[in-house]
Amino acid sequence: MATEIKEALQDIIKRTKAYNCIECGKCSSVCPISLLNEACLPRITVNKALFGAPEVLLKNELLWSCLSCSLCYERCEFDVKFHEFIRDLRIEAYKIGQQGIYAHNGAMQSVMKMMTSPNLKQNRLTWLSKDLKTHDKGEFLYFVGCLPYFDAFFTDLELDTLNIAKSTIKILNHLGIEPVLMPDERCCGHDLLWTGDVENFKKLAQHNIEAIKRTEAKKIITSCPEGYYTLKEEYPKYVGKLGIEVIHISQLLSEKLSELEFQKPITDNRKLITYQDPCRLGRFSEIYEEPRKVITAIDGIELREMERNRKSAICCGTCGWMGCGTYSKQIQIARLKEAENTGADLLITSCPKCMIHFKCAQSDKDVDKKAKINIQDLTTLVANSLKERR
């Protein structure tokens, strides 16, 4: 057993270039978690992997506290992929029965695992109304993701996550695209993969790949950065090539900006907006400018950047529905205050989870008044600004 773990660890060190670490500590100096919790230092963790006992490492607190936001990788001059390093360690830890502490008592993990069942007859598209035009087969596939489940679960946060899906279809329709929606779509598996449950992740991926192929689509559009990154980058690694292009809605929009017709603003007052870069879209996929291009194209909107933006953006505080405690809250509140400090009236994000996490932090009764900024998804902003056609 121990030798197996050692071998696996060696493999991870090689793959993630952890051996490059010169212990400069730049990773720890930017890590949002380690700024709050002294027990969690990326540098120390890598050091332990290189020189310590792997068994101990697999029980390390940071293993599950890491946000996998990849801010440290951005900072690392020696190309150590710490976020992937942690993810792969989690996979090893999961194999020997270790687990993170799940938020919401683990309900989200349960939902994802239940979706691995082959004989599921989901009611995931009941929200589709007549004005939203879709097809069973076609060129464009809209991968809805977990939105229907978020809508069912987060009933007390006034989120209306399904609005993101509705807005996306509305925008696609506006561009003349009538997307395919899959009634048997499963969770993309992102959170299972990042919490170490690679087996169930593969099952979900397999289901999805088969379902996607049945639609004969040429392009997959997602409104969720996690879905985007997982489908585009992880599926080929773990299950095999999709052979279909995956694009995030912001990419599509920035490409087809000229085809979008926006309403003329009612007043001359410019609306001030700030933008949160989701980790999977920003640092993971380097899609920084597309969403900004879309936002600034809307009439009457001025984009005000937060102090830490693009590559330096701070994560929404938690990942993979794990351990959403006081440190997460502190990160969220600090980020929300940063947004508020820009003077903007609205915080736009393009990830439903950023929105859930921020709104949850705002729902705490003792929340700082300076963290009360309104939050909206990019798709909602765009859809609401479009001119009604015909």
Give the interface with another protein as residue ranges (CB under 8 A). Answer: 24-26, 28-30, 32, 34-38, 41, 43, 64-65, 71, 74-75, 77, 101, 103-107, 110-111, 113-115, 120-124, 148-149, 151-153, 155-156, 308, 311-312, 323-331, 333-334, 364-366
Nearer to another protein, 126 or 269 (CB): 126
- The Cα–Cα gap between 54 and 95 comes to 14
Nearer to another protein, 198 or 333 (CB): 333
Nearer to another protein, 105 or 258 (CB): 105
Nearer to another protein, 73 or 228 (CB): 73
Nearer to another protein, 267 or 326 (CB): 326
- In DSSP terms, 180 is beta-bridged to 135, 141
* Burial degree of 20 (CB within 10 A; 0-12, 13-18, 19+): middle
> For the chain, how many residues are written?
390
**Which DSSP letter does residue 312 get?**
G
Q: How far is the CB of 91 from another protein (least distance, A)?
A: 20
Distances in whole angstroms, Cα of residue 390 to Cα of each of 134, 174, 198, 266, 387: 18, 10, 48, 20, 9
- Tell me the three state secondary structure of residue 189: coil
174 phi/psi in degrees, rounded to 5:
-60, -35
Nearer to another protein, 74 or 139 (CB): 74
Nearer to another protein, 162 or 260 (CB): 162
With residue 274 as reference, give the H or E element that holds it.
Answer: strand 271-276
Residue found by looking up tokens 């020189």 in the block: 51
Q: How far is the CB of 120 from another protein (least distance, A)?
A: 6
Q: How far is the CB of 73 from another protein (least distance, A)?
A: 11
- CA contacts within 13 A on the Cβ side of 252: 26
Q: How far is the CB of 65 from another protein (least distance, A)?
A: 7
Nearer to another protein, 3 or 155 (CB): 155
Q: How far is the CB of 326 from another protein (least distance, A)?
A: 4
- The Cα–Cα gap between 320 and 245 comes to 25
- The Cα–Cα gap between 124 and 115 comes to 12
- The Cα–Cα gap between 85 and 13 comes to 7
Q: How far is the CB of 287 from another protein (least distance, A)?
A: 18
Closest alpha carbon to 63 in 93, 105, 35: 93
Q: How far is the CB of 227 from another protein (least distance, A)?
A: 17
The beta-strand segments (E) located in 114-209 are 140-143
Q: How far is the CB of 145 from another protein (least distance, A)?
A: 13
- The Cα–Cα gap between 338 and 120 comes to 43
Nearer to another protein, 312 or 341 (CB): 312
Q: How far is the CB of 11 from another protein (least distance, A)?
A: 28
Distances in whole angstroms, Cα of residue 124 to Cα of each of 97, 150, 152: 32, 11, 10
- The Cα–Cα gap between 290 and 209 comes to 27
334 phi/psi in degrees, rounded to 5:
-60, -40
